[in-house]
Structure 1
Amino acid sequence: MKNFDNIPFSALKIAPDGIFVSYNAVFEKNILPYLEEKTNIKDIIEDFAFNKEEQQVIINQKGYNIFVRKNEQNYDLFFSEIKMLDKYKTTVGLLVIDNYDEVLDSLEEFRHPLILAIVDRKIKKMARDLGGVVKNFEKDKYILILSQESLDELKKNKFDILDNIREIDMGNTIPVTLSIGIGKNGENLDENMEFARVSLDLALSRGGDQVIIKDGENYQFFGGHTKEGNRNSRVRARVKAYALTELIEDASNVIIMGHRHTDLDCMGAGIGVYSIVSALDKNCKIVLNDVTSSVSYLYDRVIKDEKYKDVFISSEEALKLVNRKTLLIIVDVYKQGLCECPELVDKVKKIVVFDHHRKGTDYIENAVLTYHEPYASSTCELITEMLMYINKNIPIKQVEADSILAGIIVDTKNFAFKTGIKTFEAAAFLKKKGADTIRVKKLFKNSIDCYNARANVVSNMKLYRENMAIAILEDEIDNPLLVVAQACDELLNIDNINASFVLCKINNNISISARSFGEINVQIIMEKLGGGGHQAISATQIKDVTIEEAVNMLKGAIDEYFKEEE
């Protein structure tokens, strides 16, 4: 059986009645002689279940995990000895063409089967060359079974299958991209499959075109250097909007929470959610412990509105409001540790998360609804979609429309970064609801101290690797994070600067903001320092180091990034 010939573990194909159809040489050598001429799987495993993906059996005093996979007519069984050498340990992978529909939409219909055949051939050739097995189980999804030794070979080649697939050109205006999740070193194949599923979900939520390996509690990342594709699906947004409505209507009360050191996107998204919840006639509060200078103008304007009297509360007050039917809606953050009140995540049973940052491994896992889209310009864009598609007449006040538009404008740098079709649709919708760009612009005013501090940062910038700007904020001002972010943006306006990094000290932490035009993936660089964000906009915080040490760590992360790119 040619599909099984090269794999380093026993493989067997059986008919729907359990009769052996064929097997590979490893099965013939290691298992067949000990079956006492039995040729039906039911005679070997009395309670064998065709619909159970992972089962166990003892043959010749050796324990095996049996992984069952249905194909068109028969069943493939893969036998993994429970105590195998590391290099023969079985890993499970899930592959998905993460822009399947978009690619086909960019081609004439007669080319559809051609490009799909090329993708299929390349994926199967990769598995065959590595001595593995791959099966297509949905139109755009595959399962891949490899030995650890074969996985190591893939890692050595930096998963060049991603590049091979991306280079396919059949006249498609959108390159084909793959996302792969791989699980290894689980207790059994079933756990490896679960690891693979979690890894694939994470890869897709980070924008796709990448591989993530989950090894127990540890993750490895490969690829993800291209820009996130825009999954322009209105159906998806409508489904999320319907689910959100159901959850709000079923709740006794709602608490909205963003991240610490709130910014305009975070506050605008929170206000947008509040407009939805209040229209559905539910008691709602927004957790806000400190008003940063970046949102002070907006906050002062919002609280003048009678609707927002007593809406903003502290963490302590929020914790007292929790009951078993409380709904917690988290905006602009996916990490529990960065939330305004992390304790709420543990205390509330039903949680909704809206975020647009590329997801890391430490995300909130117990959410009943997650709308996490790295293609989006901002969380305010996602909330605007909810306002557009909720099947209710949601009244939006001018101050609310201004707040949400402000979040979009600040995160897109006046529609220059991460701006897609949906971004402009959201802005147009908010304009119809009364948003005014002049009023919004007044929310971005800076003090003279902030302006001077930003100018000092830019003027004292140092170049690294010819086109990377590294600068330090040394002035003591009220809102250093705002100045750092603005200086980072401004440095990109300098000719030949492709990425910028600005550092500042806050208490015992060193904060770093990073920006680029997308060619350099600053998210990967920041992840090496414990942070994250987007391909073009990211940040991190490093504890208990000096500015000088942080600069050296940053340079090391940059060097490592470019070494991986070679």
Structure 2
Amino acid sequence: MLTLRKKNLNYKKIFLFIILIGTFLYMTFLDYDNIKLLIHNPNKEIQEVKKIIIKLFFSILGKLVIFFIILSIYMHFQRSLKIKRLQKRLSLWSKLSYYIDKIGEEVFNELTIGIIVINTTNNTIEWINTYANKIFNNPDINTSLNLINKQMAELLNTQDKEKQIVLNIGNKFFDCLYKKEFNVFYLFDVTQREKIQILYHQATPALIFLSFDNLENSLKNLDFSEQSQIKVEYLSAISDFFEIYESYLKQLSDDKFLLLLKREQLENMILEKFSILKNIRNISEKYKLNITLSMGIACYNLPFNQLAYYSQSALELAQKRGGDQVVVNIENQKIQYFGATKASLNTNSKIISRVNSEIIKDLIQKHHNCFFMSHKNPDLDAFGSMIAIYKIASSLNNNQDHYIIMDINLMEKNFQNIYEILNQENPNLFKNIIDVQKANKMINKNSLIIIVDNQHLEILDNKELLTLTDNVIIIDHHRSSEKIISNKFAYIDASASSTVEMIMELIFFLNHPVYISPLEATIMYGGMIIDTNYFTSRTSERTLEVASRLINMGAESQKIKLWLRQSYDQILEMNQLLSRMEIYMKKFAIITSNKPIDDRSFLAKVAENSLNVQNIEAAFVIGELSSTHQIGISARSCNDNINVQIVMEQMNGGGHINSAAAQITNANINDVVLELKTILKNEYQEGNENMKIILLEDLADKGKKEEIIQVNAGFGNYLIRTQKALLANPQNIEKLKQNKKIQEEKEQQKILLMTKLKEEIEDKSITIQIQIGPNGEMHGKITPKHIIDELYKSHNILLDKPKIILDNEINSLGIYKANIILKDNIIANLTINVKAKKS
């Protein structure tokens, strides 16, 4: 539009210029005769020439004057028009400015938009409009923004030109937009939007599968009546617990249940940390049973068939991790784990081992060659289990070559001498131990990779090898997580002491000869010794049975003891680290090393030794690993009260309930220690997490109405919000005492009244007439209602739904005695005379 106006202006100027030139030429043409006379008669006298020139000069001058007068008139006219246009526009702008001022004033002061201007030199309020004043309860000018709202004060440090957050002030929500260029905050009321989002969030469906662990095996030796009694107790505990959360519970089988509820109730369960697990454990301990509860939870805004799939996957994960826990899978959140305070259940099922041995046997026989690998920095259990599965494959396919993938340079230094001994005593096996580079050239799509003692991609010896084939088997004794490597088959048993134990059980059920040399048996036995800490933890009947077989094969514990000896420098360094122990929360030992650690197992040894200190329940040893420059943590606990696996999983690690570890990239030791302390505080701090409440109704396994109990703070707040409890503060406790006193007085009055009523009833009798047949039989039946009605009719005594017990059934005419229970321990005896009704 602006370009078009400029073009029109240029055309006008050109047109005006042409008219002026034309006018000037026309006026000049009028003097043509004089000019012609002057040019064509040059011989005229000078006097006459002068006259012509003078005449011509004044003529042209006059024309020029007239020309400029006309031009001036035109320019004046144009200027007048422009002034009028400008005056008109100025008038319009004045009116518009007035309206804009009015609108601006209304926006600033009347509309629901809060505006705050900040003085950035001292971060105080410079100007605030009416609506913002209402939001923040009329703060004074020059008040520090930090005193008004800390979230807004933090926005002042942003580097962005604009930044927006949502504020929750009182019972309202506001979009808060900060414009750094103008140092101004805008607040828009979005309460309705946020409340709709909250309602949508709270109404998201959650589907839960519950399953009793080891129910059938634990009850099979009991008689039917005992089984029924125990099952009823378990079912009652589950029913009572979930009734609080307004959920729908459906039993699918003896040991499996379906639960439906909303996300709001699920979040309350999470706050309470699923105390149902403890309730079930208490019942099991009461009857000395090995039964626990596992739960898989999925909370997504999805169709129920997909929700059920996620929930079933979560339940399977809970069971793979050893049971006695809850796996919670909520949309857009990291999977959460609760429970697992006890060691994994040992089901001791020979059937499972037999079935798995057949599956693994079939898979090995289908493929031309097999490759065996484990985790980075393999320990004796990893090395021993790779040798064990290698021996199985070699026995089943002895015409094929199979390989163990392991880099000697990455092996823990204490075990490198074992590698050299193997080279001397078993060269045939030694030549089939290859590094990653060789394996990369040999593996094809038909090859089978068997991963032992590991199921996580992050710590796999080399994850690129998995891209060469889809044929992957996992055999591991660590608890599962959602990050398990993609596989064709996984055999995971968290109750096993070691992977060696699992593979040795497979060998037992193969029904195929597998020769294991004494040196190989010793290496495997060493793996079991390390993972069980000399058979002091995670040791079951299965463990000792496998250990016995290995000893029969020639395993020598004396050799293992020599292999595991530490150098003089290591012992000195260990003692130095132990002297720097920090005792946290009176039961956790935290030790940090200021030197790089060459041997990862050294951290574990320091942690094990730390548990020898009195009152230490768990130890965490932290140091930088020189081989990877990661921060390594080794965690150990001496009892099932502290689950170090749960702690390490929150730091992207894993392991067992009593033995776990983590490796953290791009971090320093101080930050790792701080994160560890935060996790320990959240998981195990007592006192601040509990609160006392007054129950407003009976709650199963918690207490009776008006009883004061102590519960988890999250659960307590939930009961208060749902009006099932009151906070047990001095005011409410005093009010409770007064109410109890009033109730006791009312109770005494009621007892006196009922006692008096009893005396009054026992002084009287009633007569009930009934129709009798020709043979003396009664027509009809005398009910408690007949007795109450007759008592009121005869003696004006009205009873409100009393319980009446007859000494004998009234089936004929005669005198009967009825017991009327007026109150506990107050029973009135009433005489009833049954007569025939007169015709």
TM-score by length of 2: 0.55
Give the match for residue 511 of structure 1: 632
The residue number in structure 2 matching 1:163 is: 278
Partner of 1:559: 681
| Structure 1 residue 485 displacement after superposition | 1.0
Report the 3-state secondary structure (helix = DSSP H, G, I; strand = E; otherwise coil) of the residue aligned with 2:335: strand
Identity of aligned residues (%): 30
- 1:167 is displaced (CA, Å) by 2.1
Q: Is the 8 A contact 1:251 1:325 kept in 2?
A: yes
Q: 2:473 aligned with 1:473, yes or no?
A: no
The residue number in structure 2 matching 1:548 is 670
Which letter does structure 1 place at the counterpart of 2:390? Y
Matched, 1:463 2:583: yes
The correspondence for 2:507, drawn from 366, 387, 407, is 387
Which letter does structure 2 place at the counterpart of 1:312? I
Find the counterpart in structure 1 of residue 299 from structure 2: 184
Larger RCO: 1 or 2 (CA < 8 Å, sep 6+): 1
Q: Secondary structure at the match of 1:382?
A: helix
Q: CA deviation at 1:310?
A: 1.8
Matched residue, 1:75 = none
The equivalent position to 1:174 in structure 2, one of 265, 281, 289, is 289
Q: Secondary structure at the match of 2:389?
A: helix
State yes or no: 1:344 paired with 2:465. Answer: yes
Instruction: Using the TM superposition, give the Cα deviation of residue 446 of structure 1 relative to its aligned residue in structure 2, in angstroms.
Output: 2.4
Separation in 1 of the partners of 2:341 and 2:284?
Answer: 19
Would the aligned equivalents of 1:92 and 1:146 in 2 still touch at CA under 8 Å?
A: yes
Which stretch of structure 1 is more off in the superposition, 101-110 or 255-264?
A: 101-110
Please say if residues 523 and 534 of structure 1, whose CA atoms lie closer than 8 Å, have aligned partners that are also in contact: yes
CA contact 2:596–2:623 (8 Å) conserved in 1? no
- State the distance in 2 between where 1:464 and 1:389 align: 48
Amino acid at match of 1:405: Y
Q: How does 1:197-236 map to 2 (within 5 A)?
A: 197-216=312-331, 218-236=334-352
- Alpha-carbon deviation of 1:454? 1.7
Alignment CA distance shift 1:225-1:106 (3 Å): farther
What residue number does 1:525 align with?
647
Q: Which runs of 5+ in 2 are unaligned?
A: 1-198, 691-839
Cα distance, 1:171 vs. partner? 5.5
| TM-superposition CA deviations, 1:505-548 (whole Å, max 9, x none) | 12542111111112211112222222111111111122222222
Which amino acid in 1 is paired with 2:444? N
Specify the alignment match of 2:265 in structure 1.
150
SS at match of 2:297: strand
Q: Do the aligned residues in 1 keep the contact of 2:348 with 2:542 (CA within 8 Å)? A: yes
The C-alpha deviation readout for 1:294-326, integer Å capped at 9, x for no partner, is: 321221122221221321111122122222221
Q: Which has a greater percent of helix?
A: 2
The Cα of 1:448 is off from its aligned counterpart by 2.3
State how far apart, in whole Å, the 2-side matches of 1:325 and 1:356 are: 27
Q: What SS does the corresponding residue of 2:288 show, helix, strand or coil?
A: coil
Do the aligned partners of 1:457 and 1:472 also contact (CA within 8 Å) in 2? yes
- 1:182-215: per-residue Cα shift (whole Å, max 9, x none)? 1111532111111101111111111111111112
- Code of the aligned partner of 2:634: S
Q: What amino acid does structure 2 have at the position aligned with 1:529?
A: M
**TM-aligned CA deviation for residue 292 of structure 1:** 2.2
What residue identity is the alignment partner of 1:321?
Answer: M
1:227-266 equivalent positions in 2, closer than 5 A: 227-266=343-382
**1:353 Cα deviation after fit:** 0.7
Matched, 1:431 2:551: yes
Return the alpha-carbon distance in structure 2 between the equivalents of residues 173 and 124 of structure 1: 22
Alpha-carbon shift at residue 339 of structure 1 (Å): 0.6
Distance 2:673 2:201 in 1: 39
Using the TM superposition, give the Cα deviation of residue 93 of structure 1 relative to its aligned residue in structure 2, in angstroms: 1.1
484, 497, 501: which is aligned to 2:620? Answer: 501
CA positional deviation for 1:106? 6.4
- Give the SS at the match of 1:295: helix
Whether the 8 Å CA contact 1:99–1:176 is kept in 2: the answer is yes
Q: 1:116 aligns with which of 221, 231, 246?
A: 231
> Which secondary structure state, in structure 2, belongs to the residue aligned with residue 540 of structure 1?
strand
State the TM-score, normalized to the length of structure 1.
0.81
| Number of matched pairs | 482
The aligned counterpart of 1:77 is none
| Alpha-carbon distance change, 460 to 208 in structure 1, aligned in 2, over 3 angstroms | same
Which shows bigger deviation, 397-406 or 446-455?
Answer: 446-455
SS at 2:414 equivalent: coil
What is the letter of the counterpart of residue 631 of structure 2? I
Query: More displaced, 495-504 or 456-465?
Result: 456-465
Q: Tell me the distance in 1 between the aligned counterparts of 2:607 and 2:489.
A: 34
Say which SS state the counterpart of residue 85 (structure 1) adopts: helix
Q: Distance in 2 between matches of 1:379 and 1:170?
A: 29
Q: Distance in 2 between matches of 1:472 and 1:394?
A: 45
Evaluate the alpha carbon distance shift between residue 517 and residue 109 of structure 1 in structure 2; reply closer, same or farther with a 3 A threshold.
Answer: farther
Contact 1:95/1:142, CA 8 A, preserved across alignment: yes
CA RMSD of aligned residues (A): 2.1
- How many Å apart are 1:107 and its aligned residue? 4.2
Correspondences of 1:61-460 after superposition (within 5 Å): 85-105=200-220, 107-168=222-283, 172-216=287-331, 218-280=334-396, 281=398, 282-289=400-407, 290-304=410-424, 305-364=426-485, 366-460=486-580
User: CA, structure 1 residues 542+291, in 2 after alignment: closer, same or farther (shift >3 Å)?
Assistant: closer
Amino acid at match of 2:393: V
Instruction: Give the corresponding residue for 2:780.
Output: none
For 1:60, the equivalent position in structure 2 comes to none
Counterparts of 2:443 and 2:301, CA distance in 1: 37
The 1:291–1:158 alpha-carbon spacing in structure 2 relative to 1, beyond 3 Å, is closer
Q: Secondary structure at the match of 1:303?
A: helix
Aligned to 1:538: 660
Tell me the distance in 2 between the aligned counterparts of 1:401 and 1:421.
19
The 1:189/1:546 distance shift into structure 2, 3 A limit, reads same
Compared with structure 1, are the counterparts of its residues 509 and 149 closer, same or farther at alpha carbon in structure 2 (3 Å cutoff)? same
CA distance in 1, matches of 2:608, 2:353: 31
Q: Does structure 1 retain, via aligned residues, the 8 Å contact 2:474–2:490?
A: yes
CA distance 1:94–1:346, shift in 2 (3 Å): farther
Partner secondary structure for residue 167 of structure 1: helix
589, 594, 602: which one pairs with 1:483?
602
Which sits farther off after the overlay, 91-100 or 519-528? 519-528
Separation of aligned partners in 1, 2:463 and 2:386: 16
2:596 and 2:551 map into 1 onto residues whose CA distance is: 38
Is the CA contact (8 Å cut-off) linking 1:115 and 1:170 kept in structure 2?
no
Amino acid of the structure 2 residue aligned with 1:506: L
After TM superposition, what 4+ stretches of structure 1 lie above 6 angstroms from structure 2? none
Question: Residue 283 of structure 2 aligns to a residue in which SS?
Answer: coil
SS at 1:213 equivalent: strand
Q: CA deviation at 1:108?
A: 4.7
Secondary structure of the residue aligned to 2:613 is: coil
Q: How big is each residue's C-alpha offset from its partner over 1:2-34, in whole Å with a ceiling of 9 and x where there is no partner?
A: xxxxxxxxxxxxxxxxxxxxxxxxxxxxxxxxx
For residues 266 and 423 of structure 2, the distance between their equivalents in structure 1, rounded to whole angstroms, comes to 57
Tell me the amino acid that sits aligned with residue 524 of structure 1: I
Contact 1:530 1:542 in 2 (8 A): yes
Larger Rg: 2
Deviates more, 1:209-218 or 1:407-416: 209-218
- Counterpart-to-counterpart distance in 1, 2:448 and 2:532: 30
Change (3 A) 1:117 1:530: same
